[in-house]
Amino acid sequence: MATKSAVLGFPRIGPNREVKKAVESYWAFKTSAEDLEAAVKQVRKQRWQSIADKGVDSIPSGDFTLYDHFLDAANVVNAIPERYTKSGLSALDIAFAMGRGRQQLDKGIDLHAMEMKKWFDSNYHFVVPEISPSTQFKLNKNKYLDEYNEAKELGITTRPVVIGPITFLALSKAARDAPAGYEPLSALDSLLPVYVELLQQLKDAGVEHVQIDEPVLVQDKGESLGAEFAKVYKKLSEVSPKITLTTYFGRLGKSLDFVKDLPVYAVHIDLDRAAQQFDEVVAAVKPTKLVLSLGLVSGRSIWKNDLKASKEKAEKAIAELGQDRVVVSTSSSLLHTPVTLTSETRLTDEQMSWLSFALEKCDEVAVLAKALNGNTTEAFEKNTKDIAARREFERNSDSAVRDRLAAITEKDLKRSEEFPARRAAQVEYLGLPKFPTTTIGSFPQTKEIRVARAKFNKGELSKEDYEKAMEQEVETVVRFQEKCGLDLLVHGEPERNDMVQYFGEQLNGFIFTQLGWVQSYGSRYVRPPIIVSDVSRSGPMTVRWSKYADSLTKSPMKGMLTGPVTILNWSFPRADASREVQCKQLALALRDEVADLEAAGIKAIQVDEPAIREGLPLRKADWDNYLEWAVASFRLSTAVAESKTQIHSHFCYSDFNDIFAHIKALDTDVISIEASKADMKLIQTFKNEGYNSGIGPGLYDIHSPRVPSEEEMKEKVKTMLEILDANNFFINPDCGLKTRGWTETEQSLNNLVGTAKWARATYA
The pLDDT tens digits for 654-705 are: 567 778 889 899 999 999 988 766 666 778 888 888 888 999 998 888 888 8
Measuring CA to CA, which residue among 343, 249, 339 is closest to residue 300? 249
pLDDT per position as a tens digit, 298-345: 999 999 999 999 999 999 999 999 999 999 999 999 999 999 999 898
Phi, psi of 2 (to 5 degrees): -105, 150
Binding-site annotation, residues for L-methionine: 440-442, 493, 608
Asked if 12 contacts 63 with a C-beta cutoff of 8 angstroms, the reply is yes
pLDDT mean over 186-208 = 98
pLDDT at 680: 66
* DSSP-H helix ranges across 349-437: 349-354, 358-372, 378-394, 399-406, 419-430
pLDDT at 416: 95
pLDDT band for 449, please (50, 70, 90 cuts): very high
pLDDT at 746 over 80: yes
pLDDT at 679: 61
- CA distances in angstroms from 88 to 83, 104, 143, 498, 653, listed in the order given: 10, 12, 22, 37, 30
| 605 beta partners | 559, 647
pLDDT per position as a tens digit, 553-574: 999 999 999 999 999 999 999 9
- CA distances in angstroms from 483 to 174, 188, 310, 486, listed in the order given: 42, 53, 61, 8
pLDDT at 70 over 80: yes
Helix (H, G, I), strand (E, B) or coil at 349: helix
Measuring CA to CA, which residue among 58, 57, 67 is closest to residue 22? 67
User: Out of 57-66, 217-226, 287-296, 377-386, which region has the weakest mean confidence (pLDDT)?
Assistant: 377-386
Scored b (16 or more CB within 10 A) or e, 434-445 reads ebbbbbbbbbbb
* Of 69, 112, 209, 703, catalytic: 703
Measuring CA to CA, which residue among 123, 126, 132, 124 is closest to residue 98? 126
Binding-site annotation, residues for 5-methyltetrahydropteroyltri-L-glutamate: 20, 123, 570
Max intra-chain CA distance, the chain: 79
Measuring CA to CA, which residue among 674, 687, 676, 675 is closest to residue 726? 687
C-alpha to C-alpha distance for 340 and 515, rounded to whole angstroms = 8
Q: Is 648 a residue of the active site? A: no
User: pTM for the whole thing?
Assistant: 0.92
DSSP state of 186: G
Of residues 701 and 279, more confidently modeled:
279
pLDDT at 602 over 90: yes
Percent of the chain whose predicted confidence (pLDDT) is above 70: 99
Domains of the chain, first to last: 4-394 (3.20.20.210), 404-762 (3.20.20.210)
Binding-site annotation, residues: 20, 123, 440-442, 493, 570, 608, 650, 652, 674, 735
Helix (H) or strand (E) holding 673: strand 670-673
pLDDT at 68 over 80: yes
pLDDT mean over 344-368 = 96
Asked if 336 contacts 518 with a C-beta cutoff of 8 angstroms, the reply is yes
C-alpha to C-alpha distance for 256 and 268, rounded to whole angstroms = 11
CA-derived radius of gyration, the chain: 26
How many helices and strands, by DSSP H and E, does the chain display? Answer: 28, 23
Helix (H, G, I), strand (E, B) or coil at 656: coil
